Structure 1
Amino acid sequence: MINRTIYFILIFLFLITGCKQKNKGNNTPKDDFEAIKEKKELTVLTLYSSTSYFLYKGEEMGYEYELIKQFAKSQGLDVKIVVAENISKLIEMLKDGKGDIIAYNIPVTGDTKNELLHCGRELITHQVLVQPTGQGIKPLRNVTELVGKDIYVEKDSKYEERINNLNDELGGGINIHLMDRDTLVTEDLIEMVAMRQIPYTLADNNIARLNKTYYNNIDINLEVSFPQRSSWVVRPDSKSLANAVNQWAKENIKSAEYRSILKRYFQLSKNPPAPAVLSLKNGQISVYDHLFKKYAEQIDWDWRLIASQAFKESRFDTSAISWAGARGLMQIMPRTARNYGLQTDQMNNPEKSVATAVKILKSLDKTFSNIQPKEERIKFMLAAYNAGLGHVLDAIALAKKYGKDPDKWENNVAEYILLKSNPEYFNDEVCKSGYFRGRETINYVHDVLENYQSYKSKIPYDIQQHKKQTKS
């Protein structure tokens, strides 16, 4: 009887042990990267900025964004972007499992090395002095020359900390001016240097390099800080993902695609070259005037206004391709072209380009139909054509929130287009499209309308001739 009891106890223990071993095998966590491959999607955490991720004319762009997309493509993965408000939130979200990787340059410090796993291409950044060039100006070449100079930086920023430390190291003498971060950010100050409104500011070298593609009259060669290492990060238990990113980065740095991305963001000028002086003899603006006249009546516009827009977009060059990939006479983005039925092989066709641009403008006219008079509505349409509808709607929402007139452009909605480069505003709950470099849109609306007035003063609007040409 005892032997029989012992026998059943042994059988029971054997079964329990076997079940435990079986369950243990089933609960072994999968390799993190294999799990990502199974779901075929990489969840990427990032921040809005001019170098990481932003929306331009409705399309996702950004240096870091394009690189992480390139990595994902190499692994057969789709990319899902999740944007955080700041670096602290970014790291918190990664630790909480709300993303697989941070595609934003996180500084390599003692704390981050203990808590996170750095991976991918390592970026070495340092702060530089942004100073004007040209017109007989001799750039500073040594930090000791900063004594007696006026340096403008954002208040409560790392740039304020650095210029204060540098001032102490030099024994004082630098005239430090602190700017309110609620209204101005680094890129605003860089523009102010380019416009000769302030003499000097500080910026990270990658931000300075990108902005030099907008302003070729600035010098960014004087380093004013020690180098700082930074890279993408994953969780410490995501070693397989980190290894895959490291291997890809090592191979990718030599690829033509990587060089193309680098060139697009940090080398190609964002401003088209100055055109030759156009002859307005015999009332002709361009060889495409007949197209502007043909399609202008579809939106009840003066054809000279569309001509002015085409001049601003492409300088009447049908083969023009912008740094962002916009193409043709009216510089239409690829995804927008597809949405309006314009095929890739038709984007350089002048008539197809103008016809599609008018379709876009017609849609925008309907969106802003409540804005009166028509002349005011045109400003919103031009802004949305240039920036993308989402950014203009964000600026309208901000104008409403802060007590400005949402139906007026100058000094109202335009003011908030400018402020959308400031985290205080693009992270606001009323904003849906994030960061935007608004200065280009402000200039776009102004330049198109100013040029239009010039055309109007030099070329009479012959209604009878217009009707005759559009009928033919």
Structure 2
Amino acid sequence: MRHFSIVILLLCLVTGCQQQKDTTPPWATNSSEDLQQFDLSDIEQTGELIAVTMYGPDTYYDYHGHHLGAHYLLCEQLAKHLGVQLRMEVCRDSAEMVARLEADEADIAVYPFNNDSILFGWKVGDNKPELISELKQWSQPDMLDNMKAYEHRLLTQSRVRHRVYAPMMSKGAISRYDQLFKRHSRTCNWDWRLLAAQCYQESTFDSNAQSWAGAKGLMQIMPGTAEHLGLPKDQIFNPEQNIAAATRLLRELEHHLSDVRDRNERQNLVLAAYNGGMNHVRDAMRLAERDKRNPHSWNDVRPYILKLSQREYYQDTLVHYGYMRGQETAEYVDKIRKRYQIYRRSIR
């Protein structure tokens, strides 16, 4: 046993004198060659520009499933100019954005910083001289103002291109689609007249209606939503298929709001979610609850839907999805409810 131990010791001494093989993986090395900056040529090679920003009316927000904000739209143009895809990530504050840049986790901070910026108030990491040079050559003094004007035209023009039909086609009928409303309203267990009132608000009963954001048909369903609901692209303008898909969505939204026990209040909040997005509605509900209002009451949540367009509210820590053009959503619900009352009194 002792002789065996001596042999092992001698073997260890011999191997210790030999050059040991480096088992460090190549990606873990600290050599200066591997600490090269990730600049424009690398962005073009990976095919992705990573930008960080904050929610806001001028920076980035969701509008009917469509991303808007003049700075975001301008960043899209930059990505197109570079021939890459844009990945936009939202930060809580400007300090987080700067930290992401310094850690090289983002290529550009798309936000109107006041000082020490490259252009439009944007920041780029100091280790990206190629990208900085490209930005300076690409930018024009009036680009941001032109993008703001473009966005304003989008938001102030008629949201939906459609033909306007009379609210009441004849005595005892609301529209040519009444039978479809009656049949498919069972899916979500709604009064078919409420479904008809919503359809009028969406498209004025024009089955070929289409919004600039891409929503289509009687119930203005976005292509991504249609795919989620199993509505084929070639059937999105089909009146029955469009209405049927919309009622499946309403049923799904009702499920997400199942904590709201009162049916009338739940329907109001579902309508708000259909128009403005469930995430924004939940943000407003959290704010209402914080202020000791009833988060399950439309009258108590509605003011916070409106307040989500104010910085002090959309940047609140309780708000997870930022800025919202809440006036449109509030009016959407109110108009549908008003029209529904008319239909209830007039149509049996």
Contact 2:63 2:276 (C-alpha < 8 Å) held by counterparts: yes
Task: Tell me if 1:69 matches 2:76.
Answer: yes
In structure 2, relative to structure 1, the CA distance for the partners of 1:355 and 1:245 (3 Å cut) is farther
Q: Name the CA shift for 1:339/1:369 in 2 (closer, same or farther; >3 Å).
A: same
Match of 1:234 in 2: 124
Equivalent residue for 1:13?
Answer: none
Partner of 1:150: none
* Change beyond 3 A, Cα 1:344–1:62: farther
After superposition, the Cα gap between the structure-2 partners of 1:34 and 1:374, relative to the gap in structure 1 and judged at 3 Å, is same
Tell me, in whole angstroms, the C-alpha distance in 2 between the residues paired with 1:399 and 1:25. Answer: 54
1:79-228 map, 5 Å: 79-85=86-92, 90-91=97-98, 93-95=100-102, 97-106=104-113, 112=115, 115-118=116-119
Counterpart of 1:292? Answer: 181
Which residue of the partner structure matches residue 24 of structure 2?
none
- The aligned residue for residue 192 of structure 2 is 303
| 1:41 and 2:48 aligned | yes
Counterpart in 2 of 1:266? 153
Alignment-derived partner of residue 365 in structure 1: 254
How much has 1:294 moved relative to structure 2?
Answer: 1.3
Helix, strand or coil for the counterpart of 1:35? Answer: helix
**Higher RCO structure (Cα 8 Å, ≥6 apart):** 1
The Cα shift of 1:459 comes to: 1.2
Q: Which has the higher strand share?
A: 1
1:26 alignment counterpart: 33
For normalisation by structure 2, the TM-score amounts to 0.79
Distance in 1, matches of 2:35 and 2:251, equals: 58
- 2:327 matched to 1:453? no
Number of aligned positions between the proteins: 313
Query: Could you tell me the percent identity over the aligned residues?
Result: 35
Question: What letter is aligned with 1:53?
Answer: Y
Aligned to 1:427: 315
In structure 2, what is the Cα distance between the partners aligned to 1:70 and 1:116?
19
Q: For the Cα contact (< 8 Å) 1:59–1:335, is it kept in 2? A: no
CA-based RMSD of the aligned residues comes to 3.0
| TM-score, L = length of structure 1 | 0.59
Task: Identify the match of residue 406 of structure 1 among 278, 295, 307.
Answer: 295
- Residue in 2 that maps onto 1:329: 218
CA displacement 1:184-219 (0-9 Å, x = unmatched): xxxxxxxxxxxxxxxxxxxxxxxxxxxxxxxxxxxx
Alignment of structure 1 residues 375-390 onto 2, 5 Å: 375-390=264-279
The Cα shift of 1:35 comes to 3.2
Q: 1:377-404, CA deviations, whole angstroms, 9 ceiling, x for partnerless residues?
A: 1101101101111011111111222211
Equivalent position amino acid for 2:118 in 1: L
CA distance in 1, matches of 2:232, 2:295: 36
* 1:376 CA drift (Å): 1.4
Structure 1 runs of 4+ off > 6 angstroms? 259-262
In 2 relative to 1, CA 260–353 (structure 1 residues): closer, same or farther, beyond 3 Å?
Answer: farther
Work out whether residues 320 and 327 of structure 1, in 8 Å CA contact, stay in contact via their aligned partners in 2. yes
Where does residue 347 of structure 1 map in the other structure?
236
Gaps of 5+ in 2: 1-29
Check conservation: 1:264, 1:324, Cα contact below 8 A.
no
